Amino acid sequence: MGRAGRRLPALAALFYGALAALVLLGVRDVLFLYEENRCSMTYMYEYPEYLKIKLPKKTARRYPAYELYLYGEGNYAEENKNLLLTGIPVLFLPGNAGSYKQVRSLGSIALRKAEDVDFKYHFNFFSVNFNEELVALYGGSLQRQTKFVHECIKVILKLYRDREFAPTSVAIVGHSMGGLVARALLTLKNFKPELINLLITQATPHVAPVMPLDKYLTDFYTAVNNHWILKAQDLRNLTTLSVAGGFRDYQVRSGLAFLPRLSQHDSALSVVSSAVPRAWASTDHLSIVWCKELILATIRAFFDLIDENTRQITEDPKKRMSVLNHHFVRHPAKIFEENPETSMELTGAFMWITVKTPKWTYSVYNDSDGKYFTFPLASHRKSYSHVYCGNSMLDTSSWIYGCMNSNSSMCLEATDLSWRAELLPGTKVVILKLQDYPSLSHIVLQVPPTVGNKYTLDCEFFREDSRTVQLPVTHLFSFGLSSSKILLNSTGLLYNVQLQHFNQVYQAFKIYIESHCHSLKERKPSVYRLHIPWSHEDSITVAKAPSSTEISAKLHIAQPQNDNRIPELNIYSSSDCQYEVILKTSLLQILGQVIRFHAGAFPVYVVSNILLAYGGQLSTLISTGQCSDFSLELVRTAKPYKVEPLLSIVVFLHGFHWFRVIRESLSLPEVDAAVLSSQDAWFPLVSLILFLFGTGIAYWSGVIFSTSLRLISSLWLTLIRPTVLQKDNKLITPRRLCGVLSLALVSWTTCGAFAVLIIYLRYLFKVIRLHMNVKAEQNILNGDLDHSKETSWNPSIDTIKNQSSMDSTSKATPQSLSNSTTVAEAVNSLKMHVTILNLFTWIMLLNLPSLIYWLKNLRYNVRLDPDPCRLTAIVLICILEILMNSSTSEVKSSKLLKIASKVPLPLSVAMLAFGQMHLYRVPHFVTFSLLLHVLCCVV
């Protein structure tokens, strides 16, 4: 091999190492580089107790692994042991591997809230024990869980029979997959929709499964989402709230937690926890069930939802949505009122003070006299378009009014504008467009007498165009080398910075905000809000002034096609400060977005690359009679231009009606890339990027895999004496046939993944033993047992030199040549076996969740039913039993080898087209390719 030939593998290793490093950087951004946890822990004031509810015998017998509990604490728990319940029932459904005890945060805070109102109203929190099943990875039990929840609802409602104010429905809180199970209740044929009137989900992936590892999971999602879209009118009496965790939740990205757009426009609400008033914090996947700020918002909403007449959750859908919007979208810093009184008279012996300046600040401290500050609008309407007022007193009383009738000294009739306010961290603000209030003569601010309280009020009249500035975002490929900058020279109280062309999920930026103040006096902090107008995913940052603050700007949901609104950076500033805003593209966060949105598709791209290398090895058997090394073949065959153009053509054609008609007539599934595009998760060059990342992972995982095999075989060689290499002429023997039948029986009667694991371990054992024997034979032929140079991994092992010093004691030359040929053939077979085993390792990993689920539930049932990989396991057992005993000498002479070497390329394209959202299809493509290999051994 020349110098250029030796340089190529090194360059390839460096290139693929860089790709793998980019993947790791993206993973690091997702898993570690997010905001700090700003949630407070919820604590129980008394010891929590879980009272097991006795279920009907038929239900208990049908669902032996599931249970129903009632939550309680202290005296409340003792009183409820006789199950004479009088409260409002709420059912908590845990998610993937979740515990029924996660209800304690909701139950405990609801109990404290009930104590505050002397138990005039209270809630009974029930919780289902799903045995901590892994339903996010195995969908076979989702339907069973759904039916069990239906039985639980009927049992719960029976507990209130003959009670005064007996409930007719149950509110449900579902965490993670528990929220999806709650939605699935409505797909049951005998389920009455009126049994649920309120559903709150926490970090539930509504759109699609995070890892679509089996058909039962994807079919369940399809059935639920289709039902909610097609039967939206029938579900209008059900109010649904979905709360996502934000960027801290790396298990379920927030885009998946948004309810499907076509369903229930007026009775469904989706928010990210970072946008929830009084929380303003991102949560991870588990903390969302105990985050005190979110739980308080939920419990406050529950109590505001109570109808005083029925003492149950209101049956009015409009009121339910009003309450949820009040607590989860826009909080006016007032206690919820369904129909608030807006017209009133301003009374009290307060001093009336007229303010004529367009900008005004007033600090209050130990003010014993109440005051009304009036701002006449007539003098400001021509010069200004808006008025902004802020108040740092965070009580729930009214504080700002619009005067409709006044005399020269005071306002006689006013409308309460406090309901137009919005609560922000440390302040409540009102922004009014003067044109919308032509009947108002004055704006009135009320300052009540205060003792010991210190707060500040600000007001400012301004023109909208003077406070709205446009900041074009930097290009995706600027890599942070260029920046967009804007200086806000005025000393206003509010700025709106429009982030132009910021509308896609693959964009990610760092925004640096520097505040410069004229004096060093104490002032209220600045509030920066990144406002996304098409979804409730705002994020809020509080910073001292002056200061330098860094904000991450990235999206959970891309801008809809029919929406032309622009994201904004709202700056609620201090009165005498100037601000400089600098925006740069963040390469690391772009990589994080790629990982966040497409990490589930990585196995497809990795296996596709390995399959291409496998096809290349079969091709070299035809051209040279030798099997090339996996890493070299991956460099030669895993080219994006071989796969990506075909995939792009398929996605392009999918946009035409005639192509979809042909696809449906051939019973082909929908192209996954087209589905992702419709969900705004597919962006330009993403498939190319994922393919390159997949190549890097395939390369280095192959290197690590082969190195591990060498290390294990070397260790084995020091402990066990190797056997002599010998050719096995029989692929199928009675003993092997019995082994196949036994494993097939294991697959049919227990778990398919368990049988796959057994055959995998057998194959792994055979490959390690073959590697050990080859190494021992090579050492003997080289005449140097101490020199352990591993020529078995050298693709140019055509000849093996005999040592001249061994001529007198060596065996006869014909036998040496025979041994040399046998070793060379074994080396070729070993390379092929390692590649097949590498492919099989990924199949084993994709089937692992159903194996874990089966082992966890083994005490309830020996047979996994339904089993997503039972039939595939039986086919793989037959194939691998033959392949593990085959050699390349049998394959080289086959008439089908040419076909088998060409098939991996179209299979790789098909895998990328149909496997990204259906990972369970990946083993099918690999199995078909290996089946052709088996036929090459036979024909």
Active site residues: 176
CA 102, CA 289: separation in Å to the nearest integer? 7
Task: Give the residues across from 430 on adjacent strands.
Answer: 389
Q: How many residues does the chain have?
A: 939
| Nearest of 140, 42, 124, 52 to residue 91 by alpha carbon | 124
CA 456, CA 391: separation in Å to the nearest integer? 6
In order, the DSSP letters of 306-347 are B-TTTSSB-S-HHHHHHHHHHHHT---SS---SS---EE---
- The amino acid occupying position 427 is T
CA 888, CA 891: separation in Å to the nearest integer? 5
The set of residues, in sequence order, having a beta carbon less than 8 Å from that of 122 and lying 6+ positions away, is 86, 87, 88, 110, 111, 114
Residue 893's CB is within 10 A of a number of other CB atoms, namely 9
Q: Which three-class secondary structure state does DSSP give residue 281?
A: coil
User: Which two tokens mark 207?
Assistant: 């759109």
CA 10, CA 5: separation in Å to the nearest integer? 10
CA 92, CA 286: separation in Å to the nearest integer? 14
CA 669, CA 660: separation in Å to the nearest integer? 10
CA 485, CA 615: separation in Å to the nearest integer? 52
The set of residues, in sequence order, having a beta carbon less than 8 Å from that of 662 and lying 6+ positions away, is none
- The amino acid occupying position 909 is V
> 253 near 596, Cβ under 8 Å?
yes
The set of residues, in sequence order, having a beta carbon less than 8 Å from that of 430 and lying 6+ positions away, is 388, 389, 390, 400, 417, 418, 420, 421, 422
CA 873, CA 846: separation in Å to the nearest integer? 12
Buried/exposed code over 213-241 (b: 16+ C-beta within 10 A; e: otherwise): bbbbbbebbeebbebbeeebeebeebbbb
Instruction: Report strand pairing: 88-93 vs 170-175.
Output: parallel
| Cis amide prior to 205 (ω within 30 degrees) | no
> 214 near 868, Cβ under 8 Å?
yes
